[in-house]
Structure 1
Amino acid sequence: MYYKRIMRLAMLTLAGKMINDANKNKSKNKNHVNVADFLGVVEVKHSIKGRIRYHIPKLKGNNVLAEHIINQLSKVNMIGNVEANAITGTLLINYNYGEIDPSMITAAIVKLLNLENEIKKKKDSLVTRELSNVKEVLNLAIYNKTKGVLDIRAIYLITIIIFAIRGIRMAPKMLPNGYTMVRWAYKEI
C-alpha cells in the first residue's frame, strides 16, 4: 500500500514537472500579437504590432522556396519588408498592423508553401512516441529471446485466454466475465 502511494506521488510530481517545463518553453515564445501558429509547421517565434518572426522547418536549406515566399509576400501592399533565412528556416515580416490581420499573413504563408496537409497530419505527443519506442524495443527483445516463438501480442492473447478460462470456471459473475475476455482475444487474432 505504501509503495503505491509513493508511485502515485512520483507520477504526479513527474507530470507536474512536465507541464511546468512545457509552460516555461511557451513563455520563451513572445507572441504579443497572439497570432495562431502550428507547432512544427509554422511557428510564431516572436511578434509585436507590425512585425512577426516565423520558424518554418520547410524553409530550412531551401533557398528556392525562401525566394518564392519573399517574392509572393512582397507583392502585398500592406506588407513592408519580408526576409527569409534558408539557413535557420525563419521568415521575418514587417507589415502595417492596422491594415492587415496577422492571422491572414499566417494563412497566406500556409497556402503559399502548401502546408495544409502538414497541419492536418495527426501528431503524437512526445510521451506517446517514447512509449511506442519502449513497446517496440520490448517486443523485439521478447521475440529474440524466445527465438521467434512469442511477441507482446501473443503474450497478451495468451494472458487474456488464461484469465477468460479461469473466469468462466471459477468466477462466472466477475466483470469483465470470461466470455467477454474470449471475445477480446478473438478480436485481437
Structure 2
Amino acid sequence: MSEKSLVKRKLTTQQITITGMLSAISIVLGVTGLGYIPIPPFHTTIMHVPVIIGSLIEGPVVGAMLGLIFGLTSIFQAIKTPTPVSFIFLNPLVAVLPRILIGITPYYTYKVLSKLKLNSIKIALATGVGSFTNTIGVLGMIYILYFDAFVKVQGISVSAANKTFIALTLNGFVSAGAAILITLPVVQAVNKIKKN
C-alpha cells in the first residue's frame, strides 16, 4: 500500500475498535496514575506500551492518536500529582510531541525491517525503537528546554544533573525490555487472529 493511499484511507471499523480499546486502557492507566511509577526526579511509565501495540497492529494514524492520549494524560498527571519538576510536563513539546512519535516510529521501523524473516525479531526491534522514542524524545526535550531550570529546582550541580540524565537514558533499556515482553505476545496473538 502506498503512502498516499494510507493517508487518504478512512479508519476501518477494526481500527476504530482497537483504538477505542487501547484508548480506554491508556485513559484508565493515565487518570488513575497506574501507568506512572514515581521514580524521582520524574515518573517512569508503561503508558507507551498501548501506543506501540496500536502502532504495530493498526498503523501510524492509530498509534499517533494513542500517543496523543498518552501525552494528554501526562499533562493531567503533572497537574494532579505535582512534583518539583511537574512544570516541565505542562509543555506539550515535552509531554505530547514525543508521545505522538511513539505511535509512528514502531510502524515504520517494522516496515523498514520487512526483509527480516523472523517476525518476532521485527516486532521486538520496532517495540524497542518505539520505547526509546519516548525515552530519548522526552529526556532530549527536557535537556534542551529545561536543563538549567532542572538544575535549579533540584538544587544539584550541572555534573550531577548530567549523570541523572545519563542514568535515566540507561533506564530506557529496562523500559524497552518491559515493553518488548508485553508487546511481543500481544501483537503476535492479534496478528494470528487477523489471519484466521
TM-score category (smaller protein): under 0.3
The structure having more radius of gyration, on CA atoms, is 1
TM-score (norm. length: structure 2): 0.24
* Structure with the larger RCO, 1 or 2 (CA within 8 Å, 6+ apart): 2
TM-score (norm. length: structure 1): 0.24
Q: Which structure: greater strand fraction?
A: 1
